[in-house]
Amino acid sequence: MKRNQLIIGLMLFSGISFSQKKTFSDIRKFRIRNTGAIVQSGEVTGSYIFYQKDKVDKKNNLYVIEFLGPNLESVGTKEIVASKFENLTQAAYDGTSLCLRFFNPREKTISYQLYDNKASLVKELKSGELNKYALMTENAALNQNLETFSNFSELGQAGGFVGYEATKPKKTGFDVQYFDAKSGKKWKYSSPASESMHLYPSYLCSTDKIVYTLVAKKKSAMTRDIDYHVYANRLSDGKYMFDLPPKDNKYQYMYYSAFNHPGTDHTTFLGMYFNLGDKLLKAKSQGLVMHTINSKGEDVEKKHVSWARDISKLLTADQRLKIKDAGNMYFHHIFRSPQGKIYAVAEQYKKVFAAGASALSMLGSGSGANAHPSAKLVIEDLFVYEFSKNFELEGVKVFDKEKSNQNMGPGSLYYSSQILGKLAKGYGFFDYAYTQQNKVKDNFTVCYMDYNKDEGKKRKTMKFYAATKQAESDFVTDKISLETDATSLRTLRAKPGHVVILEYFKKEKKLEMRLEKFNY
C-alpha cells in the first residue's frame, strides 16, 4: 500500500460530541484521490465522491458521482456509463459548478465535465490530442497514483475554471482553456508557435481581471537550467498581457503562491529567491521573497527575508543546525489571515544516498555500471512562518516530528532536491495534511502526521496532530493515536470545527465516511 494513502491519516479528538456517517456499498473500484471537499469562498460546503459501481461491457463501466452536503447528506447522485479508460484526475468547485477533469490514455485527450449542485451535467469540453510530453506527464501521474497537480483550478471569486494542456502539433508549448458554466463564457490561449523553449505551466492565482500562470522554461527536456516566469492573461478574453521576469539585477525567483489586495489592482507573489547565476534545481535558496505588482506588471514593492540574517535569529541552535544541514523547505501552503498577516507552512527535508536500495539495484541489474542509484528523502520538522502585512518576519513556530525516510526509486540520485520535493508531495510522502481557516472564530488549524508502521502487521498505527492558532495567541496542539484495518484512509476538510474521515475496505467493497467534531 502506498504511504500517500496513509499519511493523511485519521483525525479524532477527545471530547467528541457529534458524529454523522455515510456508507457506500458494492464499490467495484475506487481510488482514494477520487473524493474531495467542495470549497466555496475558502470554506467547505460539502464533498464529492466518484467510484466505479459495475462493469457494463468490455469497453464501458458504470460510474457513480455523488454530491454530499456539509453534514454528509446526499444532495445529488448520478450514474454515468463511460469508457473504462476514463480516469478522474482532479476536481474543483467554483461556487456554482463542480468541474471534473478526466484523462483518457486510449484517446490521448483531456475532458472536463461541469455539474450543478444536483449532479446534473451542464457542459462538457474536450481537448485535442495531447503531445508526447503531456502524455508522459499524465501517464506517469496515473500509473504512480500521484495526488497533486497544478494544471487545473477554479478561479475563486472570479468564477469559472482554467485547464492547461499541451496538444499536437505543439512540441514545446501549451494551451490554456477558460470556461464558466454560469456565464457560458469560454476562451483558449495558446503559447506562440515560434516558442523554442520547453514550457511547463501551472495555475498561480487570479483577480477579477487577470489570470496568472507560473511557467517554467527550459531549453530542453533534460537540462537542469530553468527559469520561472509569470504570464498574465486577461480574464475577459484570454489575451496575453505581460510576462513577469524571473530575475532582477541581483536575484532570481521561484514563486509558490499569490494573493490579491481588495480595493486595489495589486497582486503579491510569494516564493524563494536565489543568487543571480544559481542553477535553481540545484542551488539552495537565500530566503523568502514578497513581490507586489500592479495590473500592468509594474513593480510596487519587493521584500526579501534571509534564512541566515532574519530567520535564523528566531530559531534555537539545534533548529539552525537542522536548517543548515537539510537546506530544503517544501512550502505546502501560504495564506493571509483576516488581519492581513501572512503565514507560510513548510516542511523540512534533505536528500541522501539510499545505500541499501542502490545495492539491491546493482544486484538486480547484474552490473554496478548499469545500476540506477537511488536517493532517499529524510523528512523532518514542520515550520510555520509568521509575517506582518508588510512582510516583516514576526515569528517562526517549529513542530518537532520523528524523522521519516522515503526511498525515491532507481535513478533518483540524479534528481535535484527541488524535483524530489515535488515528487515526494505527489507521492504523499510529506507529513503535512492540510490547513483549515475558521473565519467565524478567527483562527486557523495546521494538520499533520507523525506516522509509524509495523511492517509485520496489517493494522496501521498513526498519530495525527492539529495545531490551532488564534489571532494573537500561541498554537494549541491536539494529538490522537489510532489503529485501523482499512485498506486506505483519508481525511477531508469539512465545515468549520469538523473533519471528514474516509475509510476504504477493498475486500468488503465498502467505503465509510463520517463527520467528526473537534475542539479548538
Q: Is the peptide bond before 169 cis (omega within 30 degrees of 0)?
A: yes
Residues 417, 413: Cα–Cα separation, whole Å: 9
pLDDT at 324: 64
Mapping DSSP onto H, E and C, the string for 22-62 reads EEECCCCECCCCCEEEEEECCEEEEEEEEEEEEECCCCEEE
Below-50 pLDDT ranges, the chain: 1-19, 357-370, 453-457
Four-residue CA torsion sign, 269, 275, 277, 282 = negative
Give the pLDDT score at 322: 66
Considering the entire predicted model, what is its pTM? Answer: 0.81
Give phi and psi for 319, each to the nearest 5: -70, -35
- Distance CA(265)–CA(269), nearest Å, equals 13
Q: Do the Cβ atoms of 158 and 235 come closer than 8 Å?
A: yes
pLDDT at 355: 64
Check residue 383 and give its pLDDT.
93
pLDDT at 296: 94
Contact 292, 389 (CB under 8 A): no
- Taking residue 311's Cβ as centre, other Cβ atoms within 10 Å add up to 19
Consecutive H or E run containing 136: helix 132-143
Output the pLDDT for position 493. Answer: 83
Cell 478561479 locates to 155
Give the 3-state secondary structure of 410-458. Answer: CCHHHCCHHHHHHHHHHHCCCCEEEEEEECCCCEEEEEEEEEECCCCCC
Residue at grid coordinates 483562527: 443
Please classify residue 316 by burial: count the beta carbons closer than 10 Å to its beta carbon, then call 0-12 exposed, 13-18 middle and 19+ buried. exposed
What does the chain come to in residues? 520
